[in-house]
Structure 1
Amino acid sequence: MNFFKKGILTTGLMGFAGLCVAATPTMGWKIESSEPVNQITFGIKINAAAPVDEFYFANQFGFTGGGGIGYTGIQPTKNTKNGKRQFMVLFSSFRKDTSTNFKNCKGGADGAKAGATCRLYIPGELGDTFLFKVKKEGQVLTGTAVNTTTGREDVIGVWKVGENAGNLAVSQSSWIENYKMNNSNYHLTCDNKGWPYYEVKFLPPTGNDGKLNGTISTLSRGSDACPGAITWTHDETGTLVKGGFK
C-alpha cells in the first residue's frame, strides 16, 4: 500500500512501484490533545465491497519523535472456501528501528528489510463497523481489530520500536487505494469488473481509550482514471466514500 510521509509517497505493502500522491484519495485526521497520546482508535464502516483482492482502506499514524510511520486498516478479500465473508486486517511499520516476533508478523515492509508487516484474516459482513486500535506501551505497539457489530476482537500484530520514537502523533492521513494499480502491467477498466463498487465510511478517531476526540476531513479528490467514479459526503460523523461501478 502506498503511504505518505511529509507529503512524499513511498512504496507499499504489495510491492508498490509508484503512484503520485495526488492520485490517491486521502483524508486528514487530527486529535485535539494537550496531553501525550499513546492510544488511537480508528473506525471504518464497510457498507458495500465486492469479495475481491483490490482495495485497501487505511489509516496512517506517526510518532512525535519522528522516524518512519505505521498504518492499520482493512482489505476486502475473497470469500472462504465454504463461502463465508472475510476481510484482511493489517498493522504495519515502516520504521528502521522496528522488530517483531509476533505470530502474525514478519520483518520488513514493502519488500524492504526495515519495518514489519502484520496481517490476519477475520470474519465479517457488509454493514459491519471495524475499529482499529493502536496502543503504544513503552516501546511496544499493539494493533487490534474490533468488529463492533459482533463484538469480536483480534490482535493483528505486535512490534517494538526504538526509544526515540516518542508518543503517537496527533495528526496524519487516511486513504483509499486500488493496489492492483501498483502493478505497471495492470490496466484499470471503468466498469464493475475492473472497479467493483465499494461504499465505506471513515469515522473520526479518538485518543487515549476514548478520552480524546478527533476529526477527519473530507476526501481530497476523486479519480483521474475514471472521472466521476468516486463520490463522497462529509459531516461531523465522518466521511462516506462511494467508488466504482455497480
Structure 2
Amino acid sequence: MKASLLLALIAPLMPTLTMGLIGINWNMTNIPPAGLPDITFPFSLIDTPHEVGYYFAQSINFKNVAGVGYTGLQPRPDVDGKPMIHAKLFSYVPDSTSTDSNCTDGNPDGGEGVSCAVDFSGSYGPYAIEVRNANGTTWEGTVVDLDTNRRVHVGSFTLPEGTGGITGSQVGYVEYYPWNTGVHKCADLPDTTGAFGVPQTTVAKAVGILSDAYEYGECVGEVGFLNTRTEKEVKINVGFK
C-alpha cells in the first residue's frame, strides 16, 4: 500500500492537535461478536531517556458507540534518584463519566470524555497496560510491571448504556507533545527509544497482530526513524542526541 493512501486511511484514527510522529497498527483475530472484554498492550521503556516529552500510546474502539479510547506511558525525570513513569487512560466517547479519583471530566483536546492519569515509581523495564471491563459498561486501566507483577491502577470510566466490548483493530502512536504548539525544526527532535508489544487478551481463540511502525505527520524522513522487529515486539528509535 502506498504511504499516501495508508496515511489517508489512518489519519482519522490518530490523535488530534498533537505532534504525531510514528504510527503502528494492531488487530485481533477471532474476537467475539460482542467485542473483547479486555485487552493488554505491552510496552518497553528499557532504553527510553528519563525525560518529559514523549508519549507511547495505543488506541481502542468500543462496539456500538462513537469515539475512541487511548492509553499509554510517558517517561518522567527521576525523583530523589528513583525513576518515575506517567500512565494515562482517556475516553473520547461522548457521555463518558467517572467517579475515579485518578480521573477528571473531559478529554485532552477539550471535548467530551474522561481523562485519567497516575504517576508511579518503577524501573524502566517491560510493562503492559491492561484495559478490562470491570462491570456493565465500566472499564478500568491498570499498569502491570512484567518483571515483578506489580499492578498500578490508572483509572476507570463508564461508557453509555448499550456500549459493547473492544473492537478488533486500531492504531498506536508515538508523539512528542511539547511540539503540540508553536513552530519547530524536525532536526531538533530529541532522541528516544521505546517498544510496542503484540496485544493480548484473555479470549482463548483471539490472536493479536502488530504491524511494523511507520512515520506520519510533518517530519516524515527527517527524524532518524528506525524500526526493528522481533517476534514479540517492535522497537522504535527516533530523534537525535
| TM-score exceeds 0.5 | yes
TM-score (norm 2): 0.86
- Name the structure 2 match of 1:140: 138
Distance in 2, matches of 1:115 and 1:90, equals 13
- Name the structure 2 match of 1:73: 72
The size of the alignment, in residue pairs, is 230
- Name the structure 2 match of 1:215: 209
Distance in 1, matches of 2:15 and 2:42, equals 24
Are 1:215 and 1:236, in contact at CA under 8 Å, matched by a contact in 2? no
Please tell me the residue identity of whatever aligns with 1:131: A
TM-score (norm 1): 0.84
- Name the structure 1 match of 2:3: none
- Name the structure 2 match of 1:96: 94
The correspondence of residues 1-246 of structure 1 with structure 2, limited to 5 A, is 7-8=11-12, 16=17, 24-35=21-32, 36-80=35-79, 82-126=80-124, 128-136=125-133, 137-185=135-183, 187-188=184-185, 190=187, 194-195=189-190, 197-208=191-202, 212-221=206-215, 224=219, 227=222, 229-246=224-241
Are 1:217 and 1:234, in contact at CA under 8 Å, matched by a contact in 2? no
Q: What's the RMSD between the two structures over aligned residues?
A: 2.4
Distance in 2, matches of 1:44 and 1:133, equals 11
Q: Which runs of 4+ in 1 moved over 4 A?
A: 9-12
CA shift digits 1:1-24 (9 cap, x unpaired): xxx996326765xxx3x55xxx53
Judge which range, 31-40 or 82-91, deviates more. Answer: 31-40
What is the DSSP-based 3-state SS (H/G/I as helix, E as strand, rest coil) of the residue aligned with 2:45?
strand
CA shift digits 1:136-194 (9 cap, x unpaired): 23210000001112322111001100123211111101110011110125x24635xx5
| Structure 2 residue ranges without an equivalent (≥5) | 1-7
Identical counterparts, % of pairs: 23
